[in-house]
A and B are shown apart, each in its own frame.
Chain A
Amino acid sequence: QITLKESGPTLVRPTQTLTLTCTFSGFSLRTNGVGVGWIRQPPGKAPEWLALIYWSDDKRYSPSLQTRLTISQDTSRNQVVLTMTNMDPVDSGTYYCALSTMAARPDWFDPWGHGILVTVSS
């Protein structure tokens, strides 16, 4: 069974850096074609893709946020970490990680973690 779980702070102050960890089981990021992506969703709005890292350490970022994002992996711990700098209240929302496989153009995300609600407020 494949599971992913997001962890990190639920309250961040404006201008601070957010660090989220995705801990997964049931698959390996050493497997050819496998990736883990981060997607966020402001309350009442559509999901927004943020970043993705593949087994090869190939990293992709949202063009509108790439200067603020860093994604990395720790294959020994089965974790993927996302950092987002200079947080603002508009960055509040639920942050999800999800499994991606390079099986089509483009990849799909399945399954997703339960998500973590992050609030940016002073």
Chain B
Amino acid sequence: SSELTQSPAMSVSPGQTARITCSGDVFPLLYVHWYQQKPGQAPILVIFKDTERPSGIPERFSGSTSGTTVTLTISGVQAEDEADYYCQSADSSSVFWVFGGGTKLTVL
């Protein structure tokens, strides 16, 4: 299967922890990458290779894996973290790339 499933939306208060999950049969065979997208902007990479953080991304962003579910964790959520978050991997043969349906994070 090549589908990646994300919950459509979640909300947290500032300072709380947000855990955004992505499920897919390709995990843990393949890596997951996570993108943040704010309205009117292009997606930016916040986590790659399951757990690695690109330079310039705050330490409050982290990634983890457990079986067929991968998680993006934002610790101490700030108002600026309100955005859509997408997971990305590929089909099991790594022939084509796949995005999850996205999770809209609202900071209350």
Interface residues of A (CB under 8 A from B): 37, 39, 46-49, 52, 60-63, 96, 104-115
Q: Cβ of B100: which chain A residues have Cβ within 8 Å of it?
A: 46
Listed residue (B30, B45, B96, B97) with the most chain A CB atoms within 10 angstroms of its CB:
B97
Q: Cβ of B49: which chain A residues have Cβ within 8 Å of it?
A: 104, 108
Q: Are B86 and A47 in contact (CB under 8 A)?
A: yes
User: In angstroms, how far is the closest chain A Cβ from the Cβ of B103?
Assistant: 10
Write the chain A residue with the least CB distance to B88.
A108
Complex Cα–Cα for A119 and B74 (A): 35
B98 within 8 A of A: yes
Q: Are A112 and B90 in contact (CB under 8 A)?
A: no
Q: Are A37 and B97 in contact (CB under 8 A)?
A: yes
Write the chain B residue with the least CB distance to A61.
B96
Contact of B45 among A105, A110, A113 (CB under 8 A): A110
B108 within 8 A of A: no
User: In angstroms, how far is the closest chain A Cβ from the Cβ of B81?
Assistant: 19
Q: Are A108 and B48 in contact (CB under 8 A)?
A: yes
Complex Cα–Cα for A61 and B97 (A): 9
Q: Cβ of B95: which chain A residues have Cβ within 8 Å of it?
A: 60, 63
Q: Cβ of A109: which chain B residues have Cβ within 8 Å of it?
A: 33, 35, 43, 45, 88
The 4 closest A-B pairs by CB, nearest first: A106-B90, A49-B97, A108-B33, A110-B45
Q: Cβ of B48: which chain A residues have Cβ within 8 Å of it?
A: 104, 108, 110
Q: Cβ of B88: which chain A residues have Cβ within 8 Å of it?
A: 47, 106, 108-109
Complex Cα–Cα for A114 and B40 (A): 9
Q: Are B30 and A105 in contact (CB under 8 A)?
A: yes
Q: Cβ of A49: which chain B residues have Cβ within 8 Å of it?
A: 96-99
Complex Cα–Cα for A112 and B38 (A): 13
Q: Cβ of A60: which chain B residues have Cβ within 8 Å of it?
A: 95-96
Q: Cβ of B61: which chain A residues have Cβ within 8 Å of it?
A: none
Write the chain B residue with the least CB distance to A65.
B96
Complex Cα–Cα for A37 and B42 (A): 14
Write the chain B residue with the least CB distance to A112.
B42
Contact of B44 among A37, A106, A111 (CB under 8 A): A111
Q: Cβ of B86: which chain A residues have Cβ within 8 Å of it?
A: 46-47
